Amino acid sequence: MNRRVLLAAPRGCCAGVDRAIATVEKALDLYGPPIYVRHEIVHNTHVIKRLEHKGAVFVDETDQVPEGSIVIFSAHGVAPTVHEQAARRQLSVIDATCPLVTKVHKEALRYSQDGYDILLIGHEGHEEVIGTLGEAPERTTLVKGPDEISNVTVRDPGKVVWLSQTTLSMDETMATAAALKHRFPNLLDPPSDDICYATQNRQRAVQEIAKEADLVLVVGSANSSNSVRLVEVALAAGAHDAQLIDHADEINETWLEGVCTIGLTSGASVPETLIQDVLKWLAARGISDVQTLTTAEEHQIFALPRELATSSQTEALNEGHRSQQPRESHTNPDIRFQSHNR
Ligand code: SF4
């Protein structure tokens, strides 16, 4: 049997994850360990272990960070109350929130200030959703899916907007939005896609490989929303089987029985080295024919958080200059889109 690997492109780390990891690494270089990070900087166990080894200390809340220390906020974003708590403890905040998550926060804030009720499509308990809800908790209702829509209430059906978590399934989100529109005909769409370019590109790529694959392997951690979505999208697109693995050692040889084409992709928080490990694992079992299926090209780069971006701000941190204005440390990102997707 001639067996092959169909490799999805794009896959793996997105611009927001690259920026978040680089933020921790640069802070470690500049200030030395320990550098405190609230929550996992990105949802990938391999990345977390590597940064812990270098001296990053991951905490659940800012009250676990010694007063006056530096704390980094993760790529998923935080509620304004978290900035306030950090300011009360005189922490120096470096905010690694992905600029595309910050965009959704700003939309939530603006619409709430304009008197809208916000219907936020997302997964309950996900860090990004908790952060976005925190921008306007009195005005925002979480909608987990179409089943819940009959229970949604708003103050004025003429002033309602929907927003979403950035890492959802495109198809499921649009289905939920359509059902919301049926209930609230004047529902406003977000000004632009909330589901980010990286999520969309990885879902499109896995849809294409799934059409030809008997088995799709998705490299990613179980707490990574976009990785879990890739498994679901692969199955919905026709793959006979799809499995989420953190690394090559988790592949079960029985999954390969009777399989001719193995699709391979990775979530937006997964370093390429983990894909290479899977390819080596497969090659060791005689599956070394690798074909890449490219559905988009990505050249996005996000500048580092402004707290690290200029020497004067770096000096300010070095001198222990603490911001007492929590909202000022909420990143106003410098987004550089070097080119667009095809
Ligand atoms: Fe940003 Fe999208 Fe990457 Fe999340 S998946 S960090 S929103 S680019």
Please indicate whether residue 15, judged by its CB atom, sits closer than 6 Å to ligand 1.
yes
Structure tokens at 218: 């998705």
pLDDT at 342 over 50: no
- At 72, which helix (H) or strand (E)? strand 70-73
In sequence order, which residues have a C-beta less than 8 Å from that of residue 328 and are 6 or more positions away?
none
Distance, in Å, from the CA atom of 236 to the CA atom of 257, rounded to the nearest integer, reads 21
Give me the long-range contacts of 149-154 (CB less than 8 A, separation at least 24).
149/176, 149/179, 149/180, 149/183, 150/183, 152/119, 152/180, 152/183, 154/117, 154/119, 154/184
Please indicate whether residue 233, judged by its CB atom, sits closer than 6 Å to ligand 1.
no
Q: Which percentage of the chain shows pLDDT scores above 90?
A: 88
Structure tokens at 12: 């793996």
Distance, in Å, from the CA atom of 281 to the CA atom of 288, rounded to the nearest integer, reads 10
| Mutation probe of ligand 1 site: the residue of 101, 166, 225 with most atoms within 8 A of C-beta | 166
Tens of pLDDT, residue by residue over 163-222, are: 999 999 999 999 999 999 999 999 999 999 899 999 999 999 999 999 999 999 999 999
Distance, in Å, from the CA atom of 260 to the CA atom of 280, rounded to the nearest integer, reads 17
Distance, in Å, from the CA atom of 138 to the CA atom of 131, rounded to the nearest integer, reads 14
Nearest to 135 by CA among 174, 166, 158, 101: 101
Please indicate whether residue 92, judged by its CB atom, sits closer than 6 Å to ligand 1.
no
Q: Which percentage of the chain shows pLDDT scores above 70?
A: 90
Judge whether 68 and 120 are in contact, CB under 8 Å. Answer: no
Please indicate whether residue 262, judged by its CB atom, sits closer than 6 Å to ligand 1.
no
Q: What is the mean pLDDT of the chain?
A: 91
- Per-residue pLDDT, 146: 92
- Per-residue pLDDT, 319: 52
Residue type, 14: C
Q: How confident is the model at residue 315 (pLDDT cuts 50, 70, 90)?
A: low
Judge whether 189 and 163 are in contact, CB under 8 Å. Answer: no
If you average pLDDT over residues 270-290, what whole number do you get? 97
Could you give the angle at which helices 197-210 and 225-236 cross, rounded to 10 degrees?
A: 30
- Per-residue pLDDT, 310: 62
Give the least confident one: 11-15, 125-129, 264-268, 319-323.
Answer: 319-323
15 CA: nearest ligand 1 atom: 8
What is the residue with the minimal CA distance to atom 8 of ligand 1?
Answer: 16
Partners of 118 in the β-ladder: 140, 161
What is the residue with the minimal CA distance to atom 2 of ligand 1?
Answer: 196
Cβ atoms within 10 Å, residue 4? 16
3-state helix, strand, coil in the chain (%, to 5): 40, 20, 40
Catalytic residue among 128, 135, 298, 307: 128
Please indicate whether residue 133, judged by its CB atom, sits closer than 6 Å to ligand 1.
no
- Per-residue pLDDT, 2: 85
- What is the 253 CA–ligand 1 centroid distance (Å)? 32
- Per-residue pLDDT, 333: 34
pLDDT at 21 over 60: yes
Tens of pLDDT, residue by residue over 79-135, are: 999 999 999 999 999 999 999 999 999 999 999 999 999 999 999 999 999 999 999
Tens of pLDDT, residue by residue over 240-253, are: 999 999 999 999 99
The length of the chain is: 342
Verify whether residue 138 is a known catalytic residue: no
Please indicate whether residue 13, judged by its CB atom, sits closer than 6 Å to ligand 1.
no
